[in-house]
Every structure is written in structure tokens, then in C-alpha cells.
């Protein structure tokens, strides 16, 4: 059985994208699944979350993108960090990923590089999670082309709705190019039930997205910030916290999709 590939993306930053990629991955590990997290964001926040620092990274995903196709199988073992975070394997990101737009200027089939390279490791995992950059470019295109499911974290804030429109414009363009629809589900994040604005945005999302939205709602929880600062998962701090339970519910929804 091949891994299902989950891309976590939104063209607006600060919506809980990396938190979702990291915590959902850990929740799937807790459900007994073998998980690989790929940090495709040049800011490498997921990599830093796992206490993997730039000076300690000899091989990153940048090397994978730049390598020839025949060298991919040999490169993956050099790249992967086994059980880097709560039993989850990781492929570290790098600031050099931001150079790919220039590096790939004349490269053919550049939008499918990630998907093709993952064939070398896909049978080793149940899920592969892609933490995507918050802008349209070759990295996001590669992630969407490779993905079985796009998870869109949406902060329950009116400004966040604009980022959703930008992402849908990108999806529409890619759907035409691929000849197949990209399956997606929206995920409300940073929800504060005490704030009327949050409640109103959540109602709007539920009206507009309907079946294309998870039932799970990620509430505000300071333990996410604590986990990031300590280089661990929220489950290492308090597995019974509100945030931990929210992502466990999300993991169960993801598992039910297949």
C-alpha cells in the first residue's frame, strides 16, 4: 500500500499551517500510522520545530529537487531524519528552496518532480505530509500535483477569507492543467468561541464550504506555542489539552477518508 499524500497549504501566512502539519502528523503516529513530514517552506519552521538547525543539515529537500531522477533513491536515506518528532520521520527544509524559481527556469516537467521522487519512499509510509510555503510558486505547484488531499487551514478571521480566494484561483488553474480535480478540505483554526467575529466567520465558512470542510475545529491553545518553543509536540506537553484533542479528532476524520 502506498502512502496517502496530504498537502497543508494556504496562501495567507499565520493561519496555523505548520502547526497543523506537525500536530496532525503526530496525531496520526499516535493512531499507529507511519508518517513522513516534508518541510517545503523556505522558512523551514517545521524543521526548526523539530530542533533541526541549518548548521546541522547536510542534505535538505533542496538537494532532492536539484538532483537527477536516477539519484533520488540513493538520496532519500541521506535526507531523512528518523523519528525526528514524536515518532514521525522528517525531510528538512532549507532557505535555499527559495532559489528554485530561478534554478528551474528551463527545467522540463518541473511541476511533477516531488511526486515522482516520492515514489522511492511512498511504500514505506501510511501518510506523507507536505508543509507548503505560503505563496504560489514551483514548490506549491509540486505539492498540489503530488497530493491526494489538500488541507487548507483557515484562521477564523475575516482577513483570512481573502487568502482562501487566492488559493482557489490557483486550484482552478491547476485543475485545468492536470485534467483532474484536486481533493480538498478546509480546516478552521485559531477559533475563539468567545469572539463574535470568529463565530461569524465560522458560520460563513460552513455555508460556503459545506461538505468540503472538516467537522473538526481547532481552537486557540497556548500549548501549541509552548510545544514549538520546546521543540516537541503538544502531545509531549499535555495530551489531554484542547488543542491535542482537536487534532486527534482531525486525524480520525482523515483516516475515514480512505
Q: State pLDDT tens for residues 111-133.
A: 899 999 999 999 999 999 999 99
Reported as a pLDDT band with limits 50, 70 and 90, residue 163 is low
Say how far apart CA 218 and CA 187 lie, in whole Å. 8
- For 78-193, strand residue ranges (E) read 81-85, 88-91, 127-131, 149-155, 184-189
Domain definitions of the chain by residue range: 4-256
**Contact in structure between 33 and 127 (CB atoms under 8 Å):** yes
Cell (9 digits) for 39? 518541510
Q: Which of 165, 176, 93 is nearest to 136 (CA)?
A: 165
Residue 159 predicted with pLDDT over 80: no
Cell (9 digits) for 21? 502539519
Residue-wise pLDDT tens digits, 80-113: 999 999 999 999 999 999 999 888 877 888 989 9
Q: Which of 91, 130, 118 is nearest to 8 (CA)?
A: 130
Say how far apart CA 208 and CA 58 lie, in whole Å. 45
**Contact in structure between 78 and 90 (CB atoms under 8 Å):** no
pLDDT at position 106 is 78
Q: What are the residues facing 153 on neighbouring strands?
A: 187
Place of cell 475515514: 256
Q: In whole angstroms, what separates CA 90 from the centre of its chain?
A: 12
Say how far apart CA 143 and CA 146 lie, in whole Å. 5
CATH superfamily of 4-256: P-loop containing nucleotide triphosphate hydrolases (3.40.50.300)
- In sequence order, the 6+-apart residues with CB closer than 8 A to the CB of 135 are 11
Amino acid at each position: 500500500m502506498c502512502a496517502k499524500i496530504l498537502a497543508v497549504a494556504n496562501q495567507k501566512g499565520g493561519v496555523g499551517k505548520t502547526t497543523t502539519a506537525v500536530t496532525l502528523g503526530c496525531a496520526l503516529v499516535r493512531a499507529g500510522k507511519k508518517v513522513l513530514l516534508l518541510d517545503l517552506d523556505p522558512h523551514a519552521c517545521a524543521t526548526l520545530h523539530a530542533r533541526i538547525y541549518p548548521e546541522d543539515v547536510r542534505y535538505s529537500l533542496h538537494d532532492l529537487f536539484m538532483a537527477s531522477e536516477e539519484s533520488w533513491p540513493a538520496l532519500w536515506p541521506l535526507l531523512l531524519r528518523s523519528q525526528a518528532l514524536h515518532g514521525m520521520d522528517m525531510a528538512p527544509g532549507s532557505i535555499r528552496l527559495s532559489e528554485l524559481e530561478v534554478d528551474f527556469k528551463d527545467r522540463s516537467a518541473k511541476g511533477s518532480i516531488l511526486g515522482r521522487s516520492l515514489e522511492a519512499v511512498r511504500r514505506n509510509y501510511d501518510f506523507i505530509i507536505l508543509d507548503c510555503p505560503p505563496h504560489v510558486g514551483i514548490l506549491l505547484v509540486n505539492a498540489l500535483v503530488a497530493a491526494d488531499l489538500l488541507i487548507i487551514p483557515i484562521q477564523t478571521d475575516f482577513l483570512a477569507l481573502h487568502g482562501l480566494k487566492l488559493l482557489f484561483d490557483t486550484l482552478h488553474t491547476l485543475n485545468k492543467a492536470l485534467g483532474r480535480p484536486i481533493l480538498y478540505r478546509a480546516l478552521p483554526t485559531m477559533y475563539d468561541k468567545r469572539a463574535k467575529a470568529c463565530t461569524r466567520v465560522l458560520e460563513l465558512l460552513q455555508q460556503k464550504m459545506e461538505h468540503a470542510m472538516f467537522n473538526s475545529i481547532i481552537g486557540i491553545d497556548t500549548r501549541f506555542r509552548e510545544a514549538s518553543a520546546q521543540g516537541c509536540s503538544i502531545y509531549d506537553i499535555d495530551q489531554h489539552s484542547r488543542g491535542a484533542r482537536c487534532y486527534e479528532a482531525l486525524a480520525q476524520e482523515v483516516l475515514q477518508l480512505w
